[in-house]
Amino acid sequence: MATTPRRPVNAMDAAEALFKPVKKPAAPAVERPAIPNTKEMVSIKIDSDVLAHFQEDGPGWQDRINDTLRAAMKAAD
């Protein structure tokens, strides 16, 4: 009964066995928040003059940016 060896016999097969591509596991899907209309922390780059415009009225500048983006999103629909 002929059986194949568990390890490669020649050096070329042994070298190729070491450098076989490894299968990477699939990345998990990004889950959306379970609660609708929740806010999510993100990091974006905004021109300094645009940021200054929203910050000049004081606290709540992030909400003002969000409202402006929402209005632009609805206008695009």
- 72 lies in a domain? yes
- 29 lies in a domain? no
- 68 lies in a domain? yes
- 70 lies in a domain? yes
Number of domain units in the chain? 1
Q: pLDDT tens digits, residue range 20-58?
A: 777 778 788 777 667 877 888 899 999 999 999 999 999
- 50 lies in a domain? yes
Which among 68, 72, 26, 65 is positioned nearest to 42, based on CA atoms? Answer: 65
- 2 lies in a domain? no
Hey, what amino acid is at 55?
Q
Three-state DSSP state, 24: coil
- Tell whether pTM > 0.75: no
Alpha helices in the chain (DSSP H): 11-18, 48-55, 61-76
- 52 lies in a domain? yes
Residue 76 domain boundaries: 45-77
**pLDDT value for 51:** 96
Three-state DSSP state, 51: helix
